[in-house]
Amino acid sequence: MARYAQVQGSVALITLTNPPVNALSAAVRLGITEAVTRALRDPKVKSVVICGENGVFCGGADIREFAKPMTGPPLVPMISAIEEGDKPVVAAIEGVAFGGGLELALGCHYRIAHSKARVGLPEVTLGLLPAAGGTQRLPRLIGLAPALELITTGRHVTAQEALKLGIVDKVTDQSAQDLAIQFAQEVIGQPLLPRKLSTQLTPCPPDVDTILDEAMARVKQRARGAMAPVACVQAVRAAVNLPYQAGMQKEQELMAFLFRSSQARALQYCFFAQRAVGKWSLSSGAHSGNSKPRPVTKAAVIGLGTMGRGITVALVKAGLSVVAVETNKKQLEMGKQMVSAMLKHDAQKMNAVPRLDLLHYTTDLSELKNTDLIIEAVFEDMALKKEVFKKLSSVCKPDAVLCTNTSGLDVDELASVTKRPELVVGMHFFAPAHVMKLLEVVRGSRSSPEVMATAMHLGKRLGKVSVVVGNCSGFVGNRMLRPYLDQANFLLEEGATPELVDGALEEFGFPMGVFKVSDLSGLDVGWRIRKEAGLTGPNVDPKDPLRRRQGRRYSPLPDLVCEQGRLGQKSGRGWYLYDKPGGRVATPDPDIHKLLEDYRVRHGIRPRQIGSQEVLERCLFALINEGFRVLEDGMAMGPEGIDMIYVFGYGWPRHRGGPMFYAAMVGLPRVLERLEYYQQVHPDVPHLQPSSLLRRLVVNGSPPLDKWRDFLQRPHSQL
Ligand code: COA
Ligand code: ADP
């Protein structure tokens, strides 16, 4: 769909009309093709402007069409027809010109952008490359190095940067469309050939091969197994080494390969899943009552430890005024220094002024009486949190929303000490809270829909991917992590080393293996929790044999490591040896190998050769199995929620779509068969027992992921 109008006598104005982002659907492509043909044929038309309605130029190809057979005119000849025509065509870019939208603009002879507009080629983030000439025209326009950077990262650039780079010709604070119409008249009769990018050569610096080789090395290192960034470099190389038509041929070949890949499917799934999880308040039918978010202008954070500081910074950056509370003057001053430093550092990077004026610091809880929403972030200790919540319930205004930042404590128990349990909700931030994109919003059994909507809305304002989860131990992310960690420890007992397990997981695409992550977070955290749970330490039931605790298999290896004072990076030693205390360079440690060997001898374990396939199956399938149980228990809205939690909070490689998507790709029968096998070998590990949902799905022919909900016995009962 494209509207056609003749304006100012001789200018044809073509307007893309496909809300909300004017994606290039079959109908839009047909509309543009017809409108351009008409404009080029009409002798009264001397120049053309292409724009988009509702202040958006174009959000690119219609991603929803990728899964369907192609219909309508293809993009490449459509864009070529614009470029090859003998009338100047000007793109008026407002809002965004992304992907195919920017490629369309690159086929135009001139580009005018509004100062608030952004442009970019984000295809790589969808597992693809810009295959409507983007990889061939952009290097010809702005040169090799900047084009490589934009195409391989998919980074969006502002209009100002686009002007500097030469992507657009003019930027205006007024209407880009009006300026483009005026400009289109001014350029009538000017030579068009230099403006036709396909006829130009890519500017080639003398060290072109080095630039390309370095880009390839950088991309391979960063991609963690993703194929699209590598293909992007190959396509841009063609823009340098080959004539335009041959370069286009190469671009098409690479695209055909990527388009069919499971990685592209995974990344496109993530695109929609990310948007779907944010819609809880609109889509969930499981609750009744008002689910409109409440306005929040003034918030408070209790406790300025690691989490509280990050949360405070995130709130201030989103423009909220914040009251920050600590127990005493010393802690308060320390917190203040850190928060100010973080905000200043951040503002410096963005070339902005830090909003220190939005903060008020106090040790007096009564100063919270005007705040709309309070986030408690004190130590992870139920008794302390209860004490704080009791006080909050008496000092805050009656309708203030009370949030607890906890990584797994029972939200209902906490809510029960207040006078208003319906206003209590869990907000599980991930450290560092001002950086990490994930937020688990925990619905207690009495949290009202309005309060849930408020927390979700706040998450959105903070730029988080917010996922609603149920109130169960560890919520969703940490609950699924337990079987994964257990399996990693069992593998060490049976013959693996930390570097072997981590190597397999990193090869899979995690930025860090499980043992490196544990070293980074500090091994003492889990140790303390295990002591409190009576799994290790003096309170262990002496009747429980050493490698069985509370009736199930238990690995004391992490406890043994901690007992040696190896607490991870901070002590310079953990599962690995570090260059210095606090250092980050991990090397395998012979002392750990010795500890493992001694342990096996002591317990009569004959070490086995363990391959990466077993590592992946045992760690990942155990985690996935718990994911099915989470769904079965109604603790997540659907597989998309679980997947987004893992992609945004736990380093699951995005090009593998998240654990539940990955299970579907591997094939549910295979996941079930391997779980059954490992369960037979390790009958004392309950989490290897396949979940009943997984069994039911397999019996029913392994339906696609979006149909799994139909097989739940208690759909969404907890949310
Ligand atoms: N194709 C199909 N649908 C698209 C789309 C596209 N290229 N871009 C956005 N949409 C849809 C979204 O799925 C969403 O649909 P929903 O309302 O049913 O959930 C809707 O348009 C609005 O998008 P959203 O991202 O929620 O809005 P926004 O204003 O925050 O952002 C964009 C708008 C254009 C910046 C953002 O959607 C985007 O980056 N889109 C993808 C661009 C891209 O990768 N293009 C290359 C395609 S190869
Ligand atoms: P985390 O890593 O979860 O953020 P920290 O131990 O780093 O935990 O921080 C908890 C912070 O909470 C500490 O700075 C502590 O002083 C503060 N705190 C503890 N109890 C209270 C309370 N009752 N009121 C305000 N702050 C508190």
Ligand 2 centroid, distance to 432 Cα (angstroms): 15
Structure confidence at residue 546 (pLDDT)? 76
- The structure tokens listed for 408 are 């797994």
Structure confidence at residue 105 (pLDDT)? 98
Ligand index nearest the alpha carbon of residue 132: 1
Among 327, 385, 395, residue to substitute to test ligand 2 (most atoms within 8 Å of Cβ):
327
Helices and strands (H, E) in the chain, number of each type: 28, 21
Q: How confident is the model at residue 204 (pLDDT cuts 50, 70, 90)?
A: confident
Fold of 478-711: N-(1-d-carboxylethyl)-l-norvaline Dehydrogenase; domain 2 (1.10.1040)
Rounded CA separation 636/578 (Å): 38
Cis peptide before 538, with omega less than 30 degrees from 0? no
Closest CA relative to residue 492, chosen from 621, 614, 586: 614
Asked if 619 and 646 count as a contact pair (C-beta separation under 8 A), the reply is: no
Rounded CA separation 496/295 (Å): 53
Which position has the token pair 């604070």? 173
The total of other beta-carbon atoms located within 10 Å of residue 652's CB is: 25
Q: Which of 83, 94, 123, 326 is an active site residue? A: 123
Structure confidence at residue 281 (pLDDT)? 62
Ligand 1 centroid, distance to 190 Cα (angstroms): 37
Summarize the confidence of residues 343-360 as an average pLDDT.
95
Pairing of strands 89-93, 47-52: parallel
Looking at the predicted structure, is the pLDDT value of residue 282 above 60?
no
Among 322, 338, 364, 379, residue to substitute to test ligand 2 (most atoms within 8 Å of Cβ):
379
Residues with CB under 6 A from ligand 1: 20-21, 23, 59-64, 96, 98-99, 122-123, 126, 128, 275
Q: How confident is the model at residue 713 (pLDDT cuts 50, 70, 90)?
A: confident
| Homologous superfamily of the 2-259 domain (CATH) | 2-enoyl-CoA Hydratase; Chain A, domain 1 (3.90.226.10)
Ligand 2 centroid, distance to 377 Cα (angstroms): 6
Structure confidence at residue 529 (pLDDT)? 85
Ligand 1 centroid, distance to 609 Cα (angstroms): 48
Q: Ligand 2 atom closest to Cα of 309? A: 4
pLDDT in tens, 287-333: 556 688 999 999 999 999 999 999 999 999 999 999 999 999 999 99
Asked if 60 and 22 count as a contact pair (C-beta separation under 8 A), the reply is: no
For ligand 2, atom 15, name the residue with the nearest CA. Answer: 303
Q: What percent of the chain has pLDDT over 90?
A: 90
Looking at the predicted structure, is the pLDDT value of residue 347 above 70?
yes
pLDDT in tens, 112-153: 999 999 999 999 999 999 999 999 999 999 999 999 999 999
For ligand 1, atom 8, name the residue with the nearest CA. Answer: 59
Structure confidence at residue 574 (pLDDT)? 98
Domain with CATH 3.40.50.720 in the chain: 298-471
Among 63, 258, 464, residue to substitute to test ligand 1 (most atoms within 8 Å of Cβ):
63
Known catalytic membership, residue 640 = no
Output b/e per residue, 23-56; b: 16+ Cβ within 10 A.
bbbeebbbbbbebbeebbeeeebbbbbbbbbeeb
pLDDT in tens, 426-466: 999 999 999 999 999 999 999 999 999 999 999 999 999 99
Domain with CATH 1.10.1040.50 in the chain: 478-711
List, in sequence order, the alpha helices (H) in 320-415: 329-350, 382-395, 411-415
Looking at the predicted structure, is the pLDDT value of residue 280 above 90?
no
Structure confidence at residue 80 (pLDDT)? 97
- The structure tokens listed for 514 are 């499980």
Q: What percent of the chain has pLDDT over 70?
A: 98
- The structure tokens listed for 240 are 């340098």
Ligand 1 centroid, distance to 148 Cα (angstroms): 24
Closest CA relative to residue 440, chosen from 466, 471, 473: 466
Ligand index nearest the alpha carbon of residue 375: 2
The total of other beta-carbon atoms located within 10 Å of residue 4's CB is: 17
Summarize the confidence of residues 696-714 as an average pLDDT.
93
Ligand index nearest the alpha carbon of residue 97: 1
The mean-pLDDT minimum among 333-342, 528-537, 586-595 falls in 528-537
Domain with CATH 3.90.226.10 in the chain: 2-259
Q: Which of 34, 83, 84, 103 is an active site residue? A: 103
Ligand 2 centroid, distance to 309 Cα (angstroms): 10
pLDDT in tens, 216-274: 999 999 999 999 999 999 999 999 999 999 999 999 999 999 999 999 999 999 999 99
Query: What is the H or E stretch that residue 150 is in?
Result: helix 144-153
Structure confidence at residue 714 (pLDDT)? 66
Asked if 300 and 358 count as a contact pair (C-beta separation under 8 A), the reply is: no
| Homologous superfamily of the 298-471 domain (CATH) | NAD(P)-binding Rossmann-like Domain (3.40.50.720)
3-state secondary structure 662-697: HHHHHCHHHHHHHHHHHHHHCCCCHHHCCCHHHHHH
Name the more confident of 291 and 716.
291
Q: Ligand 2 atom closest to Cα of 304? A: 14
Tell me the residue type at 487.
Q
Ligand 1 centroid, distance to 21 Cα (angstroms): 6
Asked if 236 and 139 count as a contact pair (C-beta separation under 8 A), the reply is: yes
Closest CA relative to residue 407, chosen from 380, 434, 389: 380
Query: What is the H or E stretch that residue 235 is in?
Result: helix 228-241
Q: Answer whether 522 contacts ligand 2 (Cβ < 6 A).
A: no
Structure confidence at residue 378 (pLDDT)? 96
CA angle 274, 275, 276 (to 5 degrees): 95
Summarize the confidence of residues 88-103 as an average pLDDT.
98
Q: Answer whether 326 contacts ligand 2 (Cβ < 6 A).
A: yes
Q: How confident is the model at residue 541 (pLDDT cuts 50, 70, 90)?
A: confident
Output b/e per residue, 626-641; b: 16+ Cβ within 10 A.
bbbbbbbbbbbbbbbb
Summarize the confidence of residues 689-713 as an average pLDDT.
95
Q: Ligand 1 atom closest to Cα of 279? A: 19
3-state secondary structure 94-126: CCEEECHHHHHHHHCCEEEEECCCEEECHHHHH
Ligand index nearest the alpha carbon of residue 312: 2
Rounded CA separation 204/626 (Å): 53
Q: What is the mean pLDDT of the chain?
A: 95
Ligand 2 centroid, distance to 391 Cα (angstroms): 15
Structure confidence at residue 115 (pLDDT)? 98
> Could you give the 3-state DSSP secondary structure of residue 32?
helix
pLDDT in tens, 487-531: 999 999 999 999 999 999 999 999 999 999 999 999 998 898 888
Identify the DSSP state of 261: S
Q: Answer whether 380 contacts ligand 2 (Cβ < 6 A).
A: yes
- The structure tokens listed for 678 are 């490992």
Report the Cα 189 to chain-centroid distance in Å. 48
For ligand 2, atom 5, name the residue with the nearest CA. Answer: 305
Residue 646 exposure: Cα atoms within 13 Å on the Cβ side: 29
Output b/e per residue, 349-367; b: 16+ Cβ within 10 A.
eeeeebbeebbebeeebee
The mean-pLDDT minimum among 156-165, 207-216, 550-559 falls in 550-559
**CA dist list (Å): 518 to 8, 490, 504, 527, 558:** 67, 15, 16, 11, 10
Pairing of strands 438-443, 170-172: unpaired
Known catalytic membership, residue 103 = yes
Tell me the residue type at 377.
A
Residue 36 exposure: Cα atoms within 13 Å on the Cβ side: 28
